[in-house]
Amino acid sequence: MEWTSYLPPLLQGAWVTVQLTVYSTILGAVLAFAFGIGKLSNNWLIKGVSIGYIEIFRGTSLLVQLFWLYFALPIAGQAIGIDLRLPPVVAGVLALGLNIGAYGAEVVRGAIQAVPKDQYEAGRALNFTPRQAMWRIALPQAVPEMMPTFGNLAVQNLKDTALVSLISLGDLAFRAENIRNFTQDSTTVYTLVLFMYFGMALVLTAFMKIAERSVGRWKTAGR
């Protein structure tokens, strides 16, 4: 069979991969900020929950988390009488987002802690509330510091989406496996798929670089 005939199904799969990456990266970013800031809270409950989330999701394997959400959670739901059967897309986005969010949370926490104490003091002297100081002073300075690592995490997340094929979601890796099953033409299929992932990673990296530059504009103003 001509290798070009593999392209339409593979492109369909790639589109699923792109969507999964986008949704789970957004979810991950939200969780990263929520729990990264939460870990710095003075409230022991918020702090404890944040630390627990970060440690559990960083300390276990993504595939274990994915299987747990997809296979084990429905059983827990059954036991308490709630239907917790998740569609593969939801389980996939949830597992990917929860996992990458835990890694991101540590990045967020580190970047916020790296904002000089002087800046908080200036904020206090101008009578900002602690919340305003966080949102108006600390975070805008911390975000550009997070961006390079966020770029790496986004690519990591793109690669990790391949795992959702194991709960039979029709992403790029899943389509590849199907075509291989059907044609036994493994060299062509997998070479093609590796290059497609590589291409998507390059685009994602370029996109993150643009985002990095745009949030750090003030640093390079006038240069």
Q: For binding to other proteins (CB under 8 A), which residues are involved?
A: 55-56, 58-65, 67-68, 71-72, 75-76, 118-119, 121-122, 124-129, 132, 136-137, 140-141, 155, 159-163, 165-166, 173, 176-177, 180, 186-187, 190-191, 193-194, 197-198, 201-202, 205, 218-219, 221-222
In the complex, minimum distance from the CB of residue 36 to other proteins, in angstroms, rounded to a whole number: 19
∠ Cα 204 205 209 (to 5°): 115
Residues in the chain: 223
Measure the CA–CA gap between 22 and 170, rounded to whole angstroms: 16
In the complex, minimum distance from the CB of residue 72 to other proteins, in angstroms, rounded to a whole number: 4
Sequence-distant (6+) residues with CB within 8 A of 136 are 123, 128
Nearer to other proteins, 5 or 135 (CB): 135
Largest CA distance in the chain: 72
Nearer to other proteins, 2 or 223 (CB): 223
Nearer to other proteins, 27 or 154 (CB): 154
In the complex, minimum distance from the CB of residue 21 to other proteins, in angstroms, rounded to a whole number: 11
Nearer to other proteins, 30 or 75 (CB): 75
In the complex, minimum distance from the CB of residue 112 to other proteins, in angstroms, rounded to a whole number: 14
The secondary structure of 8-41 as a DSSP string is: HHHHHHHHHHHHHHHHHHHHHHHHHHHHHHHTT-
Cβ atoms of 99 and 31 closer than 8 Å = no
In the complex, minimum distance from the CB of residue 176 to other proteins, in angstroms, rounded to a whole number: 7
In the complex, minimum distance from the CB of residue 84 to other proteins, in angstroms, rounded to a whole number: 11
Nearer to other proteins, 5 or 61 (CB): 61
Q: List the one residue out of 150, 160, 155 whose CA is nearest residue 64.
A: 160
Q: What is the DSSP letter of 68?
A: I
Nearer to other proteins, 166 or 211 (CB): 166
First-last CA distance in the chain = 55
